[in-house]
Structure 1
Amino acid sequence: MVSCHSTDLTTKRGAKGDEDAANVKLETFDFTLNSTNMTHFAYGIAANVVAVLLYGSNFVPIKRIETGDGMFFQWVNCAAIWVVSMVGDLMLQSPKFHPFAMLGGVIWATGNITVVPIVKAVGLGLGVLIWGSSSLLMGWATSRFGLFGIAAQDVSRPILNYCGAGLCLLSGLIFFFVKTDVELHPNTESIPLLIDRRLNSGSYGPSSSEFWIDVVGPKTRRFIGCLLAVVSGLLYGSSFVPMLYIKTRSSCQDSVFHGASVYDLDYVYAQCSGIFVASTVYFAIYCAAMHNRPRIYSRVILPGLLSGMMWALATYCWFLANNYLSAVITFPIVSAGYGLVAALWGCLVFREVKGLTNCFIFLLASCVVLTGSLLSAISKL
């Protein structure tokens, strides 16, 4: 009896020990999983912050440099983007190149060439806010609802995600009421990104003919400018669709993209190649339209290269953040955040925002965009 009782007791103790060990392993697994999720979340937020800072400071190097009509600057800028992407491609050991991903770069470059008439029609500040808002909605909706054949991305707290995207959009509308004070000094170093060539053609740089947007009436010009800004933002927001489409089809056996990488950084080089090819074609068309007499400003070369490098590095950081957080989280943060950073440059450094009322509206919009970005970030947790 004693022997049998001892055996039963030992068996029960052994079973209890196995159960305790299993519970310990389960708790350890949960702790490790939560730690990994938090680590990925931290990496994603850090990459997002760097992307926002670089995107928002992208035009600072050429803020005081004469760029003429901007076409030559855009080509130099896109050349720098392509060079940085080549270096990144070598660092990533040259992953498979998908020509279809170049379509995203073509879409982005197409939206980018509308910047000149937009700024001529409604100004740089209002133009950025309009195309930023439409870009935000397009990028967020594409990732959230799975438009254009890509996979929809779910979040843990969808209500917070909707509220975050809505607040980011609201901030753009509030920024619309911030009046900027940008003085033009064509005879000094303080030259804006784009200037009215009709007023300054005889005082700085080579003369030029009027743009087509300059000869239309004020109301029509404003309508065209706003419409082009919306279209440009939609193109910006949809420029990542080809890459996401490839990733979605990578697991389909009957797809030509079967086995494609799901790592976003592997597609940066293809997209940047599309940007450079499209910008080169557009610049060649521009040169032909100008009868081989394009407006070229040599002082824009180095600042343009630096600006392109900043944009390319920001894109790498953004794509890295997508792997940790997903595009439905990062797109509202980046789209709203870089506008805030650019506004801070204009307010604190270039003194474009003056007056108590303007400063109050600017502060309100800043709080709204920060709240929206925070809600978008925590909706993933």
Structure 2
Amino acid sequence: MTEQSFALGLASAIFATLLYGSCYVPVRWFEAGDGLYFQWLMCIGQLVVGVVVLAVYAWPPVYPLAMLGGLFFAIGNALTITIMDGIGMAVGSLLWNTVTCIVGWAVSRFGLFGSLMKVPYDNVMNIIGVVVVCVGGCFFATLKHHPMKVRPAPWQLSEMDNQSLDGKPEERPISTVRRIIATLLTVFVGFLYGNMMTPMNFMIMESETSGGSLTYTTFFFSFSLGALLTSTVIFVVYSLYRRNRPFINPELTVPSLLSGIMYGTATVFFFTANQHLDPIVAYPILAKAPGIVCSCWAILLFKEIKGRWDVLQLIAGVIATLVGITLITVSKIKF
């Protein structure tokens, strides 16, 4: 088994948090439509990072089971734009991260789906920390999202005959049904994200049983390849459904690739944190902390959350989340 370093794991978790919380910022300025073109390019950007990691780790083989984790990610990622358009980047991220936190923690803590059971030094503190983190998620569920103004796709400009073309697109109202659908999708996406590491947990457990020393980062290229293949299939099926006229905003291309590179780099740090902190500690932290970064962008840059009550509610949720994360982190330390 690879020797663990708490300091390296914590540093990796911090870098992953900052990148995960910021990776959707480049694309939020542009009209993304249904988000499938964006998620396809994002997976390409992630694979670029995967090739670099592949070279660093001396070209390990492709692990088909690790590609399953990429499949879970790609399906969830294909729904993120729909969620963010329905309930906002901050609220959507905070809600699906709450579900991810519970699922990822439970899989590792109780050894579900063939994973190795991981019990922290202070089991009671760990459980209390997870509960507090989930309580923080309850504060986010009722936040009101104010849809941001985005730059329309190039061909949409000619259709805006009744609007002033002064560079200030109209704010789009969101129906209650659309909000409900987006909220339900966060549960599904959270479940998928919470199981991204499950196939790799199983392989590492099998490796340790046979005396091997596989690490999470060894699987990163396979994970990225699985994500790209899945997103390609999704995009092809979508293009056929649209009769070869998919929604493609060319202005999304570079921002989407940048988002993918940021997300891929964050995932490398996430895998490193899992290796050195164990998923039972890393998952709750990295499932919730990026939402705090997302919230900062949503308030300060995109103005998605307004009003004193909503801001106070968000602050209360963030404080609860930070307290929970602290308890989870300390539960890993043996005093």
Same fold, TM-score > 0.5, yes or no: yes
Which residue number corresponds to residue 272 of structure 2? 320
Matches of 2:59 and 2:29, distance apart in 1 = 38
How many Å separate the matches in 2 of 1:126 and 1:76?
A: 24
Task: Confirm or deny: 8 A CA contact 1:186 1:203 kept in the other structure.
Answer: no
Task: Indicate the residue corresponding to 1:113 in structure 2.
Answer: 78
**Which stretches in structure 2 are left out of the alignment for 5+ residues?**
162-174
Decide whether aligned partners of structure 1 residues 185 and 42 sit closer, same or farther in structure 2, where only a CA change above 3 A counts: closer
8 Å contact kept, 2:43–2:231? yes
Aligned equivalent of 2:329:
377
**How far, CA to CA, are the matches of 1:323 and 1:64 in structure 2?**
35
Please give the alpha-carbon distance, in whole angstroms, between the structure 2 residues aligned to 1:60 and 1:221. Answer: 22
**Match of residue 202, structure 2, among 242, 245, 259:** 245
Residue aligning to 1:275: 227
Does 2:247 correspond to 1:295? yes
Bigger Rg over Cα: 1
State the shift of 1:351 in Å: 2.8
Q: Which moved more, 1:177-186 or 1:74-83?
A: 177-186
Equivalent residue in structure 2 for 1:162, among 124, 127, 146: 127
In the other structure, the counterpart of 2:164 is none
Instruction: Choose 260-269 or 309-318, whichever is displaced more.
Output: 260-269
Cα distance change on mapping 1:201 and 1:47 into 2, 3 Å: farther
Structure 1 residue corresponding to 2:182, chosen from 197, 217, 225: 225
What is the CA deviation profile of residues 164-205 of structure 1, one whole-angstrom value per residue up to 9, with x for unaligned ones?
11111111111223333334365699xxxxxxx9xx99339x
Matched, 1:357 2:309: yes
Q: TM-score, normalised by structure 2?
A: 0.87
Partner residue of 1:4? none
Q: 1:377 to 1:175 in 2, by over 3 A?
A: same
Given candidates 92, 99, 109, the residue that maps to 1:134 is 99
Corresponding residue number in structure 1 for 2:54: 89
- What do you get for the CA RMSD once the two structures are aligned? 2.5
Q: 1:260 to 1:298 in 2, by over 3 A?
A: farther
Give the fraction of aligned pairs with identical amino acids, expressed as a percent: 33
CA distance in 2, matches of 1:95, 1:226: 39
Q: Secondary structure at the match of 1:178?
A: coil
Match of 2:263 in 1: 311
Specify the code of the residue in structure 1 equivalent to 2:49.
V
- Tell me, yes or no, if the aligned pair for 1:81 and 1:309 is still in contact at 8 Å: yes
Indicate conservation of the 8 Å contact 2:90/2:294, yes or no. Answer: no
Aligned to 1:265: 217
Gaps of 5+ in 1: 1-35, 190-196, 205-217, 253-257
Distance 1:185 1:292, change over 3 A: closer
Match of 1:104 in 2: 69
CA distance in 2, matches of 1:107, 1:58: 18
Secondary structure of the structure 2 residue equivalent to 1:156: coil
Q: Which residue of 1 aligns with 2:22?
A: 57
2:184, 2:152 → 1: CA distance? Answer: 33
Give the 3-state SS of the residue equivalent to 1:66 in structure 2: coil
Q: Distance in 2 between matches of 1:270 and 1:42?
A: 27
- Residues in 1 aligned to 2:27 and 2:176: alpha-carbon distance in whole angstroms: 30
1:249 and 1:264, CA in 2 relative to 1: closer, same or farther beyond 3 A? same
Using the TM superposition, give the Cα deviation of residue 99 of structure 1 relative to its aligned residue in structure 2, in angstroms: 1.2
Q: Is the 8 A contact 2:29 2:150 kept in 1?
A: no
Structure 1 position 379, deviation (Å): 0.4
Of residues 11, 19, 32, the one that matches 1:67 is 32
Q: Distance in 1 between matches of 2:152 and 2:232?
A: 31
Query: After alignment, is 110-119 or 355-364 more displaced?
Result: 110-119
Q: Which residue of 1 aligns with 2:172?
A: none
Alignment size in residue pairs: 318
1:334 to 286, 298, 317: 286
Kept in 1: contact 2:103–2:195 (CA 8 A): yes
2:159 aligned residue: 202
* Contact map agreement 1:142 1:148 (CA 8 A) in 2: yes
C-alpha distance in structure 1 between counterparts of 2:127 and 2:214, whole Å: 26
**Separation (CA, whole Å) in 2 of partners of 1:75 and 1:173:** 32
Query: Residues 201 and 106 of structure 1: is their aligned pair in 2 closer, same or farther, counting only changes over 3 Å?
Result: farther
Q: How far is 1:334 from its partner?
A: 0.7
SS at match of 1:181: coil
Alignment partners' CA distance in 2, 1:136 and 1:142: 10
Residue 226 of structure 1 deviates from its aligned partner by: 2.9
Distance in 2 (CA, whole Å) between partners of 1:152 and 1:201 is 58
